[in-house]
């Protein structure tokens, strides 16, 4: 592990994670399907998880990995709630295109 990290360098992990994170952001911005947006957010979260793990290794500190578990658990909870809301939206709107959700404005 140490070798790999040393060989590749922590910077590249950060770049990768940032890239993934940005992909997630663009996904959220670009897509109009709520589920795809969820997935994009998941990509963002996972990018962070990747980063945390990388740093955990870099610092030789388990706390980062523990934190990843927290974050995964939270993300799961979040998605559970999110999907529940999505279901409610689907029932009322017969669709999950977020462009339908423009009633509250002004």
Partner 1 sequence: METNLALLLLFAPFAGFLINIFFGKKISRTLSGTLGTIAVAVSFAVTVFFFLQVSSTKVPVMVDLFQWLTLQNFSVNFSFQLDQLSLLWLMFVTGIGTLIHVYSISYMHDDENINKFFAYLNLFIFFMITLVMGSNLLIMFIGWEGVGLCSYLLIGFWYKNQDYNDAAKKAFIMNRIGDLGFLIGIFILGYLFHTVEFTGMKSMIDNKWPINESLLGVAMLCLFIGACGKSAQIPLYTWLPDAMAGPTPVSALIHAATMVTAGIFMITRLNFLFNLTPDVLEIIAIVGAITSLVAASIGLVQNDIKKVLAYSTVSQLGLMFLALGLGAYEVAVFHVITHAFFKACLFLGSGSVIHALHGEQDMRNMGGLRKVMKITFITFLISTLAISGLPPLSGFFSKDEILLTAFHHNKPLWVIGSIASIMTAFYMFRLVYLTFYKDFRGTEEQKHHLHESPSLITFPLVVLAILAFFGGAISFPGMSWLNEYLAPVIAKPAVHEHLGTTEYILMGIAVAGAFLGIGLAYNKYISKGEVPPQDSEITGVAGVLYNKYYVDEIYTAIIVKPIYAIGSFFKNVTEVAISAFIFGLGKVAVLLGNEGKTIQNGSIGFYLLFFVLGVCSIIGYIFLVK
Partner 2 sequence: MDILIAIAGLGIICLVAEIFNLRKAIVPVTVAGLLGVLAFVGAKIFSKNPDILGLGFDKEPYINMIINDKFALSFSALFILLTAFLVALSPEFHKNHKAKLSDFVAIKLFLLTGAIAMISFSNLSMFFLGIEILSISLYILAASNPKDVKSNEAGMKYFLMGAFASGIILFGIALIYGATGSFNMLTINAMDREALPSWYNIGAVMLTIGLMFKIAAVPFHFWAPDVYEGSPALSTATMSTLAKVAAMASFFKLITTLNPHLPGFLTTINIIAVLSMTIGNLMALKQTNVKRMLGFSGISHAGYMLLAFQFRDLTFAQGNLFYYAFAYTLAGIAAFAVVLYVSSSKGNEEVYSFNGLGKTKPLMAAVLTCALLSMAGIPIFSGFFGKMFLFNQVLDKGRMILVVFAVINSIIAVGYYFKLILAMYSKESIENKEDNNTVPFVYSAVAVIAILINIGIGLCPELILQLMR
**Is residue 32 a contact point for partner 1 (CB under 8 A)?**
yes
Return the residue of 28, 39, 86, 89 that touches partner 1, per CB under 8 A: 28
Work out the burial of residue 47: count CB atoms within 10 Å of its CB; fewer than 13 is exposed, 13-18 middle, 19 or more buried.
buried
Other CB atoms within 10 A of residue 51 CB: 20
Token pair listed for 79: 């998605």
Cβ proximity to partner 1, 62 vs 104, nearer residue: 104
Give CA torsion, residues 85, 87, 89, 93, to 10 deg: 180
CB 40 within 8 A of CB 53: no
Binding mask 43-82 for partner 1 (x = CB under 8 A): ----------------------------------------
* Helical residues (DSSP H) of the chain, grouped into ranges: 2-8, 10-30, 34-59, 63-93
- The contact set with partner 2 (CB under 8 A) reads 10, 14, 17, 21, 24-25, 28, 34, 37-38, 41, 44-45, 47-48, 51-52, 54-55, 58-59, 61, 63-64, 66-67, 70-71, 74, 77-78, 81-82, 84-86, 88-89, 91-93, 98, 101, 103-106
- The contact set with partner 1 (CB under 8 A) reads 25, 28-29, 32, 98-99, 101-106
């Amino acid at each position: 592990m140490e070798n790999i990290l040393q060989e590749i360098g922590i910077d590249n992990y950060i770049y990768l994670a940032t890239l993934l994170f940005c992909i997630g952001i663009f996904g959220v911005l670009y897509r109009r399907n709520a589920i795809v947006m969820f997935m994009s957010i998941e990509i963002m979260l996972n990018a962070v998880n990747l980063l945390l793990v990388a740093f955990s290794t870099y610092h030789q500190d388990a706390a980062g990995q523990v934190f990843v578990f927290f974050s995964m658990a939270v993300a799961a909870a979040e998605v559970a709630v999110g999907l529940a809301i999505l279901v409610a939206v689907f029932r009322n709107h017969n669709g999950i295109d977020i462009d339908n959700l423009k009633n509250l404005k002004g």
